[in-house]
Chains A and B, each alone.
Chain A
């Protein structure tokens, strides 16, 4: 939508608009869509396909929209035997055939007898442009809006009249505003009077986003009148300022988003390492197990109950928790419980465990990346002002905060949490009070591991699901926990968020690599200043 190769399309539009302008009389001259659409059949070149698209669009017949849509989505096929063109749907074998214009059923055909009408990006673009003009009069408001947006990006002076007509007929204010902006963009490219152009600039200036900036920059560069040039440049400057402001907001957002990923990755470690003192090198692998659980759940859902796909993450969450918690429990009971009081040796043992888990997953699931799909509610983005917010990042931030809050709740408000705190603060005393310390150790470790598994569900949405998944996060996780202060959950939260934001503010200036180096150096310097992290633990057990 951002750019259009105008020169390619001007011709098509000229033809098209001529038809639209002169009304229904033009239909007969432009040819019969039903015959034109058959030109897609057989082995044709991309150029021929593109010409057919233009020819179809030139008929102005709204019925061709079905065929063009099918073409863009790769559902337009031709039968190899007689080159007849159909829309094939269903995805199974044999495919159900539909008439390309009317959409009426036209029998079935094994997929082997059909060939897809090949398209490429430029054809998709031609199709969407053609559809834009065709659907300007569509009864569906969403389609009209889309058409208005398409027209804005590729506005040409010839369209002003068409747009005027559309504006006059449009009831909905949103679409009307878009159409007026599209008209303004067209006006700027035309040779209309200066006053009209200045008004157009004002209108575009008030739209104030990147698309408007593109049009205004082009106007200030290309226009002959000095007044228009100056006004366009001024309006563009104003928009640039707004964009610069929003860039800060965007950076903060990116930082929070990165921070929430770090938080998710680190929070389980804040328990096993921060609270229990186990240098858990297998933490990353717990995250990985969570991601693979998500994969397994989605595979099962795809095979057994595709309708549940939107719920796949919700289903995966508890399972991932249980899987990782169980593995954590086994590790604690099998290995770590013999190593309490020798924390550095837990590093060695868990490093071994991490190697085993990685290779185990590699053996079972294979070494390649596994596909974990994003449910619809995790896909796409929306705009806040001039800032684009992607849904998956938003949900991950929300999710990270929920996990954090839940963990605080468990540690602060449940009897298990109370006992955990008691054991970590004074093991012997807790034991004397009748707390089963080995049981609490096991539960704490399982909790930390389980939370890592839950993090894996979230990370599967943005990262590779591969046996190396955990390796990518383990170092950052340790940094976050240590920066925040070992044994302090709030420290982990603040640590994760500040490292995330710092990183994202450095990235545009320093680049991703240098930015990260700077963050690491700052972390080292910070530890000199506060040798026990941001939120240093106080009390007698610190030195123990």
Chain B
């Protein structure tokens, strides 16, 4: 139970739930008869798979925002880059089954007159290479970007805006047909993944399970890192960067580590996302997508591991539901939700529940302490986010946090 104590029961519960889902959902989809009440309809498997990819992305953002205080408005870029790496592999797998029947060139290259494969498309016919790129490209971009930004001590809102500029620049770049990534249409019409037909139920279920496992590993990683000494350092950088630096720690190294790891996680999320939705296009780089990721994390509760996962699931499930149930009004609902959550649940859903639970327990303890039977009251173990929000009203409105 050492590990259990190290990571806390919540992380283990989440991991257990994800692993259970990884086994049960595909089983319920594939083997239960369609009229069984426990049957999971086929369309739901990729849908939930997609939500889980978003959850992994939100978790990645939480690592840098919730624990290191870097508000990245460009995490969609890492997600999309991972997605493109996977998409390129899937494109190469189409082979001569494209409409023009060209064995090497993807269709869009054929009709845009590319005579040979651009250099950066080489190697993507191998899964191992694509998988490497899924990790390497977002990681490297984050490393280089972070190295310069953190070394120059670009912080707060300046950092947020240049991450936004980064994703915006990539958006425009990938829109260009000359870049060789399919322009606005992106990459689509995939056929096979590792030899399995991408449209088959079995592949879908497998991808779903893989996503669950990836998310579970992500949760373990973030849980492990944040509970370690490094995690304490991260929180120190978040809450008092200058002080941490004066104590002799290299804040930029901590940030760079978190930023790079987070980008890699986002890239993996993107790679799992693409085969499940069947398309990757520059729209994923849109700054507003990255802002939405921030919103998921905030709704669930940043700085809590469960929160972002839950926020991503909830907001996206809500979006799916309301775009059908109230197609004309769902933006009111979604917008209203964001406002209400910020106003009334400033710690996010999970943070608020934690806070309420702690407060309740403290009151019970103090009650029992008055009876003289219970233990003396302890200081409540507040979540760091709660610390921030308990700042007195009228504190200095700083342009940057």
A and B touch in the complex (CB under 8 A): yes
The answer to whether B71 has its CB under 8 Å from any CB of chain A is: yes
Q: Cβ of B229 < 8 Å from any Cβ of A?
A: no
Distance between Cα atoms of A517 and B165 in the complex (Å): 9
Q: Which A residues are closer than 8 A to B by beta carbons? A: 273-274, 276-279, 281, 335, 338-349, 351-356, 358-360, 363, 424, 426-428, 431, 437, 471, 475, 478-479, 482, 486-487, 513-514, 516-517, 520-521, 523-524, 527-529, 531-533, 541, 543-544
Asked if B335 is at the interface of the complex by the 8 Å CB criterion, the answer is yes
Among B6-14, B52-60, B356-364, B388-396, the stretch that binds chain A is B388-396
Contact A482 B331, CB 8 Å, known A349-B342, A520-B169: no
Given contacts A428-B394, A531-B158, contact A517 B172 (CB under 8 A): yes
Interface residues on B, range: 35 or more
B153 CB–A CB distance under 8 Å: yes
Stretch with Cβ within 8 A of A (4 or more), from B19-27, B113-121, B273-281, B291-299? B291-299
Please state if A351 and B394 are interface contacts (CB–CB under 8 Å): no
Q: Please state if A513 and B335 are interface contacts (CB–CB under 8 Å).
A: no
Query: Smallest Cβ distance from A485 to chain B, in angstroms?
Result: 10
B296: min CB distance to chain A, Å: 10
- Decide: B398 and A343 in contact? CB cutoff 8 A: yes
Tell me how far the C-beta of B26 lies from the nearest C-beta in chain A, rounded to whole angstroms: 35
| B227 CB-CB contact with A under 8 Å | no
- Give me 10 other A-B pairs in contact (C-beta within 8 A), A338-B343, A348-B299 excluded: A274-B399, A276-B397, A340-B393, A341-B396, A437-B394, A482-B157, A517-B172, A524-B145, A531-B155, A541-B398
B137 contacts A by Cβ under 8 Å: no
Tell me whether A348 and B294 are in contact in the complex, defined as CB-CB below 8 angstroms, given that A341-B397, A355-B331, A486-B157 are known contacts: yes
B165 touches A524 (CB 8 A): yes
B residues near A517, Cβ cutoff 8 Å: 169, 172-173
The residues of B that contact A276 with a CB separation of less than 8 Å are 397
B224 to A: closest C-beta gap in Å: 26
Most A C-beta atoms less than 10 A away, residue of B328, B335, B341:
B335
Please report whether the interface of chain B is mostly helix, strand, loop or mixed according to DSSP: helix
**Judging by beta carbons under 8 Å apart, are B397 and A363 in contact?**
no
Q: How far is the CA of A340 from the CA of B80 in the complex (A)?
A: 34
User: Which single member of A342, A348, A529 contacts B388 (CB below 8 Å)?
Assistant: A342
Asked whether any CB of chain A lies closer than 8 Å to the CB of B242, the reply is yes
Report whether A486 and B336 are in contact in the complex, using a CB–CB cutoff of 8 Å: no
Judge whether A345 and B298 touch: CB under 8 Å.
yes
0 or 1 for each of B297-313: is its CB under 8 Å from A? (1 = yes): 01100000000000000
Residues of A within 8 A of B393 (CB): 340-341
Contacts of A338 in B (CB 8 A): 343
- Interface residue from B161, B328, B396, B400 paired with A363 (Cβ < 8 Å): B328
Determine whether the beta carbon of B153 is less than 8 Å from that of A352.
no
B172 near A523 (CB under 8 angstroms)?
no
Report if A482-B161 is in contact (Cβ < 8 Å); known contacts: A343-B399, A344-B401: yes
A359 and chain B: residue at smallest CB distance:
B331
Please, which residue of chain A has its CB at the minimum distance from the CB of B395?
A: A341
Closest chain-A Cβ to B310's Cβ sits at a distance in Å of: 16
Kindly identify which residue among B162, B394, B400 contacts A527, using a CB–CB cutoff of 8 Å. B162
Instruction: Flag whether B166 is at the interface (Cβ < 8 A).
Output: yes
Interfacial chain A residues near B158, Cβ < 8 Å: 482, 486, 527, 531-533
Interface residues of B in 126-169 (CB under 8 A from A): 145, 148-149, 152-155, 157-158, 160-162, 164-166, 168-169
In angstroms, Cα B398 to Cα A427, docked, is: 11
Q: Determine whether the beta carbon of A427 is less than 8 Å from that of B154.
A: no
CA distance A486 to B346 in the complex (A): 26
Sort A-B residue pairs by CB-CB distance and give the 5 closest, nearest first.
A352-B338, A355-B335, A359-B331, A356-B335, A520-B169
Complex Cα–Cα for A341 and B394 (A)? 7
Would you call B87 an interface residue if the criterion is a C-beta within 8 Å of the partner chain's C-beta atoms? no
CB–CB A531/B157 < 8 A: no
Query: When chains A and B are docked, how far (Å) is the Cα of A478 from the Cα of B295?
Result: 18
> A344 to B71, Cβ gap below 8 A?
yes
Is the Cβ of A348 less than 8 Å from the Cβ of B295? yes
Task: Please indicate the chain A residues that have their CB under 8 angstroms from the CB of B145 in the complex.
Answer: 524
Does B339 touch A at the CB level, under 8 Å? Answer: yes
What is the minimal beta-carbon distance from A282 to any residue of chain B, in angstroms? 10
Known: A277-B397, A359-B332, A544-B398. A475 touches B169 (CB 8 A): no
Which chain A residues border B391 with CB–CB below 8 Å?
341-342
Partner of B162, one of A345, A427, A431, A524: A524
CA distance A501 to B161 in the complex (A): 21
Residue of A nearest to B392 (CB): A341
- Known A-B contacts A341-B397, A531-B155; A520 and B165 likewise in contact (beta carbons under 8 Å): yes
B263 shortest CB reach to chain A, Å: 16
Chain B contacts of A335 at CB under 8 A? 339, 342-343
Give the chain A neighbours of B342 by CB distance below 8 A: 335, 339, 345-346, 348-349, 352
Of A277, A524, A529, A531, the contact of B166 (CB 8 Å cutoff): A524
Distance A346 CA – B164 CA, assembled complex (angstroms): 17
- On chain B, the residues within 8 Å of A352 by CB distance are 334-339, 342
Does the CB pair B336–A345 fall under 8 Å?
Answer: no
Minimum distance in angstroms from B11 CB to a CB of chain A: 25
B84 at the binding interface (Cβ < 8 Å)? no
Is the CB–CB distance between A487 and B335 below 8 Å? Answer: no
Q: Tell me how far the C-beta of A454 lies from the nearest C-beta in chain B, rounded to whole angstroms.
A: 23
Distance of A431 Cα from B397 Cα, bound (Å): 14
Q: CA separation between A300 and B172, bound complex, in Å?
A: 40
**Complexed CA–CA distance, A428 and B394 (Å):** 8
B329 located at the interface, meaning its Cβ lies under 8 Å from any Cβ of chain A in the complex: yes
Task: For the complex, give the distance between the alpha carbons of A487 and B294 in Å.
Answer: 24
Contact A475 B157 (CB under 8 A): no
**Distance A475 CA – B166 CA, assembled complex (angstroms):** 12
* Cβ of B208 under 8 Å from chain A: no
**Cα-based distance from A339 to B298 in the complex (angstroms):** 14
Q: State which residues 226-278 of B face A: CB under 8 Å.
A: 242
Q: Is the CB of B172 within 8 A of A520?
A: yes
Give CA–CA (A532, B161) in the complex, Å: 12
Q: Offer 17 A-B interface pairs, CB within 8 angstroms, sorted by A.
A: A279-B160, A339-B343, A342-B346, A343-B399, A348-B298, A348-B338, A348-B341, A428-B394, A475-B164, A482-B157, A482-B162, A486-B158, A520-B168, A528-B149, A529-B152, A533-B158, A544-B398
The reply to whether A475 and B287 contact each other, CB–CB distance below 8 Å, is yes
Given contacts A349-B343, A356-B331, A533-B158, is CB(A340)–CB(B395) below 8 Å? yes
In the complex, residue of chain B having the shortest beta-carbon distance to the beta carbon of A481: B161
Task: Give chain B nearest CB distance to A134 CB in angstroms.
Answer: 51
* A544→B165 contact, CB < 8 A: no
Within the complex, what minimum Cβ distance (angstroms) separates A208 from chain B?
38
In contact, B332 and A427 (Cβ under 8 angstroms): no
Give the shortest distance, in Å, between B89 (CB) and chain A (any CB): 26
A340 with B399: CB separation less than 8 A: no
B256 → chain A closest CB, angstroms = 14
Closest to A525 in B: B148
The listed residue (B71, B175, B389) touching A342 by CB distance below 8 A is: B389
Asked whether A340 and B331 contact (CB < 8 A) given A335-B343, A345-B298, A524-B166, the answer is no
A277–B394 CB distance below 8 A: no
| B122: chain A residues within 8 A (beta carbon) | none
B176 within 8 A of A: yes
A349 touches B166 (CB 8 A): no
Partner of A349, one of B148, B157, B242, B339: B339
Contact partners of B160 in chain A: CB under 8 A: 279
Query: Which residues of chain A come closer than 8 Å to B328, judged between CB atoms?
Result: 363
Q: How far is the CB of B383 from chain A (nearest CB, A)?
A: 15
In the complex, A443 Cα to B367 Cα: how many Å? Answer: 46
